[in-house]
Structure formats: structure tokens, C-alpha cells
Amino acid sequence: MARYFDVHPENPQRRTIGQIVDLVRSGGLIVYPTDSCFALGCQLGNAAGLDRIRSIRALDDRHHFTLVCRDFAQLGHFVRIDNAAFRSIKAATPGSYTFILPASKEAPRRMLHPKRKTVGVRIPDHIVAQALLAELGEPLLSSTLLLPDEKEPLTQGWEIKERLDHVVDAVVDSGDCGVEPTTVIDFSDGEPEIVRYGAGDPAPFE
């Protein structure tokens, strides 16, 4: 049975954030809020957690997982960014964007696109997500909580708890965080290509 954490959206309780992060560090898979939908998340080296996300979402090995990072310095540790992409991404973060970039040697191999060796990265503009990332001290390996055969992500913490009670370890609820996923920009070939239109304004990349 999943634990349920009710977190204040503007002043996250430090003790609660610490409990959630302890659970992540012990191999737990959580559902947590971001600035665009709830997400599934686990620790970087958690191979079983990655497999659980694949199972919950019925994903194949071509799916781009995302490293949700606290800041740009952390993001730059896991991907290779040229100068043009650096400026564009820096200007758009934090925000509701996911950027697909060539992975550095620091990125977990299991989460990379098998042929392209790319990975998604993002920096959320969300107080609770940022509090979790600050306490954890490393990115969360994540994927949008969009269940198979459903057109929109789940938006209510209680419903997520009810439906995923036996397949995740915790649900972190700080209120509704919307149904629109991130805008995804692929920089892997040097020039920006919008591969999904979502919550982030695509205009700077068109």
C-alpha cells in the first residue's frame, strides 16, 4: 500500500520532504507533482524502479525517460550541450519544457534511448518538486504519469493513490498541477525540433 503525503504547495514541510526523500533513497517509486502534471520518479541508479515505471506506463525501450534536475548546473552534468542550445535552454528554464540531448557518461545507461544515446532533461518551476530535488541532491529519474490507453494524465492525488496503491510506494500531493505535459524540444541534432507541444511556450524554439 502506498504512503500518502499531503504537502503544502507554497511552504513544503521539511520533515515530510525528508521522509519522502528517505523513501526514494531506499529504492522507492513515488508519484510527485511538477509544473506540468504529476510524474513517476525514482533514484538514478534504481533499475527496479525504472522497470516499474515501464510496467505502469506500458513503455517500450524507445521511450525517452527524463532526468528532472534542480538547476542548470546539475542538468549540464548529465548531457552534452553546445553553445547555441546552452543559451536557448538556459533562457527557458526553469519551466514546463523537456529537452532531448546527447547523454554524457554520467547518465544511467539503462534509461538512454537504445540507438540514439539521448536522454530527456528538465528543470521544473514547482516549489514542491524543487524541495524534493534539493533534499535528494541529485535528479529524479522520471516519466509523466500517463496511464496506458488514457488520453490525459491523472490530476488528483487521492485518485492516484486509489488507482496505483499497490504499484507505487508513495503519492506526494500538493494540489492540482494540471493535465498538460511539458513541451518537448529535441536538440540532439544541433537544431531545435519540437516533438511535442505542451505547457511550455514553443515560440522561442520555432
pLDDT digits (tens, 9 = 90+) for 56-115: 999 987 888 999 999 999 999 999 999 989 999 999 999 999 999 999 999 988 888 888
Question: Has residue 176 got a pLDDT over 90?
Answer: no
What dihedral do alpha carbons 153, 135, 111, 3 form, nearest 10°?
-50
Torsion sign (Cα): 75, 151, 32, 143: negative
pLDDT for 111:
86
pLDDT for 3:
97
Spell out the domains of the chain, with CATH numbers in brackets: 3-205 (3.90.870.10)
